[in-house]
Structure 1
Amino acid sequence: MKHSVRYPVLSGLAGILLLLSGCSVSQTIPSEGQSVVALPSQLLETSGLLCLEQDFISFNDSGGKPVLYRFDRNGDIKHQLQLSFRNSDWEAISSDGEFLYLADTGNNAGYKQALFIYKVPLNWSGLKQPYRPERMEILLPEDKKRQPYQHDLDFEALVYQQDSLWLISKSWDSQIPKRYKLDPKLKQQQLGKAIPFANPGFLITDAVFDQSKQEWWLVGYPDPRKAIWAYLSNAGFQPQIARYDKDLLLLETKALPTTGQVEGLCIDQDKQIWLSEEGNKQSPALLIKTGFSSQ
């Protein structure tokens, strides 16, 4: 997310620090078991990440081109797929092994009455571009008093698990992430019932479910409006990762090996955990192998 665009309603010291944070240079330094690769300029605002064999799929967030990018571990783009729908605020991606589910679900300002999820074939061979995917519409409860950055209906994580899709809230207001079950077969549905996770102590920017161990992993960073010292001391976003069991019991949290704005999370076929980190004018977006494993 671009702070100069996404935080126009903030004022005072917190707002100033958020604006300045977009100009900081990432201090990501790899250690044993880790790797850091600069992503190409086309993915400067990478906003979600999917592990796919030895490759990855990502995209940019609001205002970016409506394009999915498949790239390798060196950051080299191998394929692109342009979609026919505008990139309002693409935030997350998941897959059922046959289709991709792309979440146009960013809602920081809180004015949206509906969110969208696009269903795209995993195999792009032979698809005519711009490709027009199936579209799911998620209707939000009406609330005319909803204020920017003071509500829980902003979503930056989407997970496919056991024939269902789960939207996970960033939760600006309550600071407690919640998941909402969706039926991928329905073209229109209500958001439904919120199921809360135990509070990890940070805002959620992505999530993944490890099927083999039946565990949830959530990633994000502390609320910038509250973590004032981190910005005063140039400590950056201080991103963290949390692990939960299948019943949403919090098992552990860990600090991540970067100070940047982590936006994407995935687990590869070898159970290694990867991140994507949004770039800025001073530094590129990054693909990070954390050195952490879900085994």
Structure 2
Amino acid sequence: MTSLVSPAGKDCTGFGFQEVVYTFKQTGTMPPQVNESSSITHGSAKDLFYTNNDSGGKPVVYEIDKKGTLKDSIVIPDANNIDWEDLTRDGSGNLCIGDFGNNNNKRKNLRIYKYNPVSKTTDIVFFAYEDQESFPPLKGERDFDCEAFVWYKNNFYLFSKNRTSNPVKVYMVPDESGEQVAKKVAEIPLEGMITSAALNKDNTQLALLSYGRIYIFKSENQKEHLSLTPQYCTPFAMGIQSEGLEYLEGNKLLISNEQGDIIEAELSKPKDTGKTKTSSQKK
């Protein structure tokens, strides 16, 4: 495997993160059309965002503001919503939709849709994991689900949602239409199942969202392939299905969950383990 992640910093989870305090505030609620938000990413203009429903819904992406006001509904041509999990944008401004939810590890039709908002056309990247041989594998080996990805320098990076083992597997998929192989490039021993990923604007920081924590990595944007160093972590919304994550300006993040909340998170300060309590989600 390619060396992707380097341990560093003060240990708070067993893999080199410094625990910090974020403040959380609810900015809005999803519109009725979005009844199970599984993602959020930047939209067609500043302060607008795309989101989508989870598996089995219409092949539609909804554009909203931070209050949850519906601004547009976009039907993605030549697409089906088998299990849409995460959204990201590529270097050309295409909206990329990860149709790779795979709870039972049975799927042989994993794909990424690339929607061009100018031409209103869709390209498709089909892929299979290089290390999956059985569909499904044995119960103790079913770690081929995914709900999180980012685009970086002509490759997609997928982060597995593991149910049977701790290491999060990182796969690299070439951003090329047609059949591709998802190559495993790293394993990260994180706690919790990863549900969304986001890179900041200048590709210097990556965030991973899980059921219970947010993990922040420093990214070396001058390198050809995604290179990450553990930086911060914070507890977040244990028990709530938060599955959408995007960077705002600076250290701010925008989060969506399947319960319809839209939440803004901002880095406050390092945790004082002797005096400071971890911040909790505010509504």
| TM-score of Structure 1 vs Structure 2, range by shorter chain | 0.7 to 0.9
What aligned pairs does 1:107-146 form with structure 2 within 5 A after superposition? 107-123=102-118, 127=120, 133-140=122-129, 141-144=132-135, 146=137
* Structure 2: tracts of 5 or more residues without a match: 1-21, 220-226, 270-283
Q: Which residue of 2 aligns with 1:74?
A: 67
Aligned partner of 2:50 in structure 1 is 57
Q: Which has the higher helix share?
A: 1
Give the share of equivalent positions with the same residue, in percent: 26
CA deviation string 1:150-203 (max 9, x = no partner): 512111001011221111111222221121111112421112224112x23111
Provide the C-alpha distance between the structure 2 equivalents of 1:241 and 1:219, rounded to a whole number of angstroms: 5
**Runs of 4+ in structure 1 displaced over 6 angstroms?**
none
Map Cα deviations across residues 109-160 of structure 1 (whole Å, 9 max, x no partner): 011123110000144xx74xxxx51111002332145146851211100101
With normalisation by structure 1, the TM-score equals 0.72
* Structure 2: distance between partners of 1:33 and 1:203: 21
1:292 and 2:267 are equivalent in the alignment: yes
**Aligned CA-pair RMSD:** 2.4
TM-score (norm. length: structure 2): 0.75
Partner in structure 2 of residue 278 of structure 1 = 258
Kept in 2: contact 1:156–1:168 (CA 8 A): yes
Q: Distance in 1 between matches of 2:115 and 2:133?
A: 29
| 1:90–1:293 distance in 2 versus 1, CA, 3 Å | farther
Q: Distance in 2 between matches of 1:91 and 1:148?
A: 22
Contact 2:26-2:261 within 8 A present in 1 as well: no
Letter in 1 for 2:192: F
Q: Which of the pair is proportionally richer in strand?
A: 2
Query: In the aligned structure 2, how far is the partner of 1:213 from the partner of 1:96?
Result: 12
Matching residue's letter, 1:136: V
Task: Specify the code of the residue in structure 1 equivalent to 2:210.
Answer: G
Match of 2:215 in 1: 242
Does 1:185 find its partner at 2:158? no
Equivalenced residue count is 235
Structure 1: which amino acid aligns with 2:209? V
- 2:27 corresponding residue in structure 1: 36
| Correspondences of 1:189-228 after superposition (within 5 Å) | 189-197=180-188, 199-212=189-202, 214-221=204-211
Amino acid at match of 1:214: T
2:278 matched residue in structure 1: none
Q: Does the 8 Å contact 1:151/1:173 carry over to 2?
A: yes
Higher relative contact order (CA 8 A, sep 6+): 2
> Paired residue for 1:157?
148
Q: Does the CA-based 8 Å contact 1:49-1:266 persist in structure 2?
A: yes
What's the offset of the Cα at 1:271? Answer: 4.4
Kept in 2: contact 1:273–1:293 (CA 8 A): no
Q: Which runs of 5+ in 1 are unaligned?
A: 1-30, 222-238, 280-284
Distance 1:180 1:33, change over 3 A: closer
Q: Does 1:85 align with 2:79?
A: yes
Paired residue for 1:262? 242
CA positional deviation for 1:293? 7.6
